Chain A
Amino acid sequence: MLRYPEIGTAVLYSPYAFLTAALVVSRRRDWIWYILVASAAHFVTHWPQWTLSWVVFADAANIARALVAALLLNRLVGTPPHLDSARSLTLFIVCAVVAAPAVGATIGAANVVLHGAASTYWQPWTTWFVSNALTGLAALPAAIVGFAYVFGISPWHPDRSRVIEALLLLIALAATCALAFTPGFKWPTLVLLLSAPLPILIWAALRFGPGGASASLTWITYSVIWNIDRGADSLFGSLDESILALQIFVLFTAAPVLWLAAIATARHSVAQLHHALLASLQDQIAILDAHGMVIEVNESWRRFAATSDAHAIHRVLPGDDYLAVCQSWADRGDAIAADVAAGVKDVLRRTRRRFELEYDQTQGDRRETYAKSIEALERAGGGAVVMRANVTARRQARVEIEEQRRELSHLARVSVLGQLSGAFAHELNQPLTAILSNAETARHVIRHASPDLDYLGDILQDIIADDQRAAAMIQRLRGLLKRGDRRLQHIAIRELIDDVLELARTELMTRRVEVVTDINPTLPALWGDKVQLQQVMLNLILNACEAMGAAAESGRRLVLAADFDAPGRVHLAIRDNGTGIAPELIDRLFEPFVTSKPDGLGLGLSISRTIVAAHGGRLWGQNNHGGGATMHCVLPVASDDGTTLPVLAAMRDT
């Protein structure tokens, strides 16, 4: 093997690469074994040709160099070190091509000088350093990749084309080296001679990464060394010139080639991630450039595009003009295509960041709901991402949640009315009592020979009035009891409060609660579901009654106040002078199943808050300064054109 004749140092010292590679890919507690094996090999190959002290000293230099390289690489580049970016390659060169060889050279040169093989320190230092630096640069990356594979840390599962490509690369490399460096084959100039393998190196770098590039470099280096050994004079001139040529070649070729390999690897892994990411998404995705042309689509998009159900705007593939297709369908009167075209234009022009659309589509015999969103692509070149997802299940879940919410709200309403059952029995029995007494009176009167018809007329009139009174009462109750769909309407606040007070009248009377209303008569109407808002008010009023149970009968006072809040909003306050809200409950008042009543479910307030929130309002409670509590409810008034609130609209549509 080619050595510097006077000091016995190899031009390319492969043990450095092997030991360092073994250390960086293994566990630290196993390092001692690799060091022992390497030392044993060193002794077997160098002793007794060299003196024992020389061999020991040289071994120490080797171990120190490998340890420094392995520790620095593990710390700065990783375990195992992946040379897949310009940054990691720079750190690799600093650690394994500069720092570790410098440490090795410092000890190794001292060895040479101490054994009298050189007169100056710097001459052997430089030789050692260059030899190790070249090894680090040319052979170490390949050794690390190889050891990582052997140790099972980075398994390699190449497909057939990849193996064939690797074999072709190997053949090309061998052929080039054989042609270029065989003694007797005369190339016009030396420069041309060493640049011959360059295309192969670039191929290896681009396609096989730093490992492949490094392996190729190692091959070339050994090929040159072998040929110099066989006939140095005929190849590069003198032995010294040959060594210099080789060093310059490796130094000026290896670094750029490795860099190229690292950047190619980085790009390749980003591209792989990008494709894997797109492929893993269930949503259909198309990426548009700034002009609306499709740059890329994912698997899901491609699959759907191939189906017969797909609308033309979903059959576009890379190279097609998405915007133009949408526009042409919009021109033919397709409403969804028109919306999408407008949205795409807005997003591409950056007048908005995101455009969303939800629509139904019949697919076979099923009706599916799709959500489409177009999002600006945040990059210098502009563009947009089109995403389309089947949200039928999500929408179904939303409908079910709304259904359950409605069910729960109905249960709560029924339970509130249950609290009032005694009062309702009383209210209904009043007209029934009057009707019965009047009817019996009438029956008695008509037994007379000449009944007083005017008197009978009055009685019948009263019966009719009482019957209507009972019917109205039942109607009011029915509205609250039935499980109807949401019905949105204008609601006058005065009417809302009066209706609820009418329902609670007997209860309030029984509980001896004096009711005071203070309603600004100029308040505009609310827009919402009357039954639900009645439920909220009834709940709040009954809670207030409950809270005043402990107060003296004479002082129970419920104030219902309504006035303007912020513009477009009405503030309702239900103030009692009861026991107030217990401090431990005040923060959790609106949580479900939180109640101060021994037989309460604790759903009333939580459902009330949900209802108010669905009306775009807010419900909260606080204790009064002078005792008792006030529940505050802020609700938006109906807009001028009487249109619906967005929140309620969303709920109604589901």
Chain B
Amino acid sequence: MSAPTSSAFVQTSIAIVDDDASVRVSLKRLCTVFGLQATAYASGREFLTALEDGGSRADCLLLDAHMPEMTGSELQRHLVAKGISIPTIVFTADDTPELLAHYTATGIVAFLRKPLSSEDLLAAIERAVRRKE
């Protein structure tokens, strides 16, 4: 596997939102090792707070669909309401056609099934970066 090397890619800032600590930490490691700037958040609320504080910017959002309190789509609604648009990659273990259709309708970059292969993930991130550009 070879990492994309475009300068735009390397400077990309990734926000990871997942309630599961193991998944969160491992995804952050994976992104970091491929040269991405990754920050992990345990919940949608935590991410929103960081955005509001202004200390955070995100070029791409890695979002778990399945979380307590605030699900992935709820977070998306909050972002839309705040006028924030971030290219988003949604991942889930529960890839029902209904869920896929729901997220596709919101204009996400990719819908990935857990466990994620690094190739799929990096390819999706690249697509997200291009969309951002």
Contacts and interface: CB of A to CB of B under 8 A. Distances in A.
Interface string A484-512: 00000000000000000000001001101
Interface stretch (A285-293, A426-434, A636-644): A426-434
B67 to A, nearest CB: 8
Contacts of A469: 22
B131 interface: no
Contacts of A422: 94, 96
Given A437-B26, A437-B29, A430 B20 contact: yes
A436 B115 contact: yes
Contact of B115 (A432, A510, A512): A432
Contact of A440 (B66, B68, B118): B118
B93 A509 contact: no
A437 B93 contact: no
B30 interface: yes
B33 A432 contact: no
Nearest to A424: B93
A434 B34 contact: no
Interface in A424-451: 425-438, 440-441, 444-445
Interface in A394-428: 422, 425-428
A220 to B, nearest CB: 106
Given A425-B93, A510-B66, A433 B23 contact: yes
B66 A441 contact: no
Given A425-B94, A430-B20, A437 B116 contact: yes
B29 to A, nearest CB: 5
A619 B114 CA distance: 40
Main secondary structure of the interface of A (DSSP, over half): helix
A2 interface: no
Contacts of A229: none
Nearest to A509: B68
Interface string B89-133: 001111010000000000000000011111000000000000000
B94 A437 contact: no
Contacts of B94: 422, 425-426
A436 B92 CA distance: 15
Contact of B29 (A435, A459, A465, A509): A459
Contacts of A321: none
A462 B25 contact: yes
A434 B20 CA distance: 9
A465 B33 contact: no
Nearest to A443: B1
Contacts of A436: 26, 115-117
A437 B118 contact: yes
A466 B22 contact: yes
Nearest to A469: B22
A465 B22 contact: yes
Nearest to A427: B93
B63 interface: no
Contact of A438 (B1, B20, B26, B91): B26
B11 to A, nearest CB: 19
A510 B72 CA distance: 12
A469 to B, nearest CB: 7
Contacts of B14: none
A440 B30 contact: yes
A151 B29 CA distance: 109
A430 B26 CA distance: 11
A468 to B, nearest CB: 11
B25 to A, nearest CB: 7
Contacts of B68: 509, 512
B16 to A, nearest CB: 10
B60 interface: no
Contacts of B66: 426, 506, 509-510
B114 A429 contact: yes
A441 B117 CA distance: 11
A437 B21 CA distance: 13
Nearest to A436: B115
Interface in B52-69: 66-68
A462 B117 contact: no
B33 to A, nearest CB: 5
A433 B33 CA distance: 17
Q: With a 10 A CB-CB cut-off, give which of B29, B34, B68, B94 has the most chain A CB atoms.
A: B29
Interface string B23-42: 10111011001100000000
A431 B24 CA distance: 11
Nearest to B27: A437
B47 to A, nearest CB: 18
Interface string A508-546: 011010000000000000000000000000000000000
A510 B68 CA distance: 7
A462 B26 contact: yes
A523 B94 CA distance: 39
A445 B33 contact: yes
B42 to A, nearest CB: 14
B33 A430 contact: no
A426 B29 contact: no
Q: With a 10 A CB-CB cut-off, give which of B26, B66, B68, B116 has the most chain A CB atoms.
A: B26
B43 to A, nearest CB: 12
A465 B26 CA distance: 12
A430 B29 contact: no
Contacts of A440: 1, 30, 117-118
B4 to A, nearest CB: 13
A428 B115 CA distance: 10
Q: With a 10 A CB-CB cut-off, give which of B20, B23, B92 has the most chain A CB atoms.
A: B23
Contacts of A445: 33
B34 to A, nearest CB: 7
Nearest to A459: B29
A435 B116 CA distance: 10
Interface of A: 422, 425-438, 440-441, 444-445, 459, 462, 465-466, 469, 506, 509-510, 512
Interface of B: 1, 20, 22-23, 25-27, 29-30, 33-34, 66-68, 91-94, 96, 114-118
9 contacts: A426-B92, A428-B93, A430-B22, A430-B93, A434-B22, A441-B30, A465-B22, A466-B22, A510-B66
Given A422-B96, A438-B26, A441-B29, 8 more contacts: A426-B66, A426-B94, A429-B93, A429-B114, A429-B115, A433-B93, A434-B23, A438-B30
10 cross-chain pairs, A with B, having the tightest CB-CB distances, nearest first: A429-B93, A437-B26, A434-B22, A433-B115, A426-B93, A434-B26, A436-B115, A429-B114, A440-B118, A433-B114
